[in-house]
Structure 1
């Protein structure tokens, strides 16, 4: 009888803490698409396809109940950034299927911009976009990864990063305290300047650390 009770408890989920820890936490992946005119994503189809494939790699192994959010940014204007996609990984929305769908969308960004279905924008509000997303994600319950497809040249009320320099303002608080990672794909793209890319990486690395991200990755190419 005692053995039967023990077996029942294990099957009912009353196992050791180590067993509970083996179940992966759901992830939240925020994918930000920079539609500013300076970003190669909106006009270079080959580059957009590579960016889409790289993002798909981030999504293919997501555990159940993970959330994938796709947003656009550029101008500080909600009406200009109407694209909002939210999907939750489930038996009916498998990670490989979601990954393929998001990858296809990203690859088609230049076409969608050319057709007027997405609007190319004159500013690059990366920091304001991050501030907005910080109000939505919860790093205490989910493993949060923010992926930005942008050249990293902030051009907003907050800062103007150019090939010659410029600095990001430090975040007002640890907006993403405990969040797993910030990744920028395409950092410095279009500048033709390794030193500009290095400067951008230093600026965003410092910002990510102060904002509370555990890791930062800034890739010019991959």
Structure 2
């Protein structure tokens, strides 16, 4: 009976945690990151303030747990079947990513803003968004080189950083409200393709120039 009671208590604990995270998600999406307080979390979840502290800790710990779920969802998107053609791979990567963001745009905007404030994009974090995104970009470059799309005159690690930089700048503009998701895609894709063009074979270079011209219209 004691074991059964322990299982029940653990299940109730997980339900309370889920409720608190749901309230946090809704507050961020509807009112912005600054609206999130432990008091509002407790009221919205129907628990006490000490309960929030016991289950998570401080406000930043709640945001960290919420942001980790965002990272996990991004990871799932990045694990989609891999393509080798740089143009097709870049477009598929962005389409998958933006499909995720468009599913709850207000939340993802606010969550990325919160992540920046908490330093969750810091370059030195091995499991952070920066390092994971760089690894994805490196795979894109390595596959393109292996299949004869790139000449190999430029270091793939340098190309990968520029690919990520193109996407990151567009994301920051979107998070700040300067552009919408359509312009996010256009801006990031043009930047990624121009990066590939720096080491592209003549055939790929010509295709990239044609695609960039279409995107820039």
Larger Rg, first or second structure (1 or 2): 2
The structure carrying a bigger strand percent of its residues is 1
| Length-normalised TM-score, structure 1 | 0.29
| Length-normalised TM-score, structure 2 | 0.29
Where relative contact order (Cα < 8 A, 6+ residues apart) is larger, the structure is 1
